[in-house]
Amino acid sequence: MKLIIAIVRDTDDQAVIQQLINQGYRVTRVASTGGFLRRGMVTLLIGVDADKVQAVIDLVRDACRPPSEAGQHRATVFVVNMPHFEQI
C-alpha cells in the first residue's frame, strides 16, 4: 500500500475531503501552514492500494481550484511506500 500525503490550500480542503469520502477513501486532516507567510494549508493523510494512487492524485487536482498566483500549484502530493497498514 501507499501513504499519500497531500498538501492543499485551506480553501480547497473541504471539497477534496468530500470527494475522497464520496469515492470511499478514508482521510485524516491536519491543519498546517505553508512557507514563511504562514498561508493556511491542510495536510491530508490517505492510505490507499498502490493501484489507486493516480486516481487519488487526479481527484485532488480536480477538486482544488486553480491557484490565483502565478508559480503556485493546486497541491503538493508526497507518496511513500507503506509496507504495513492496519486498522485495529
Cα–Cα distance, 12 to 19 (Å, whole number): 11
Neighbouring C-alpha atoms within 13 Å toward the C-beta of 82: 18
Grid look-up 503538493 returns 76
Q: State in angstroms the smallest separation of the CB of 68 from a copy of itself.
A: 16
**Residue 11 binds to a copy of itself (criterion: CB under 8 A):** no
Select from 31, 49, 55, 65 the one that contacts a copy of itself (CB under 8 A).
Answer: 31
Cβ distance to a copy of itself smaller for residue 11 or 18: 18
Torsion of CA 40, 41, 42, 47, to 10 degrees: -170
**Residue 68 binds to a copy of itself (criterion: CB under 8 A):** no
Amino acid sitting at position 71: G
**Residue 15 binds to a copy of itself (criterion: CB under 8 A):** no
Which residues lie near a copy of itself (CB under 8 A)? 2-3, 5, 7, 17-18, 21, 26-36, 38, 41, 43, 45, 47, 53, 57, 60-61, 64, 73-88
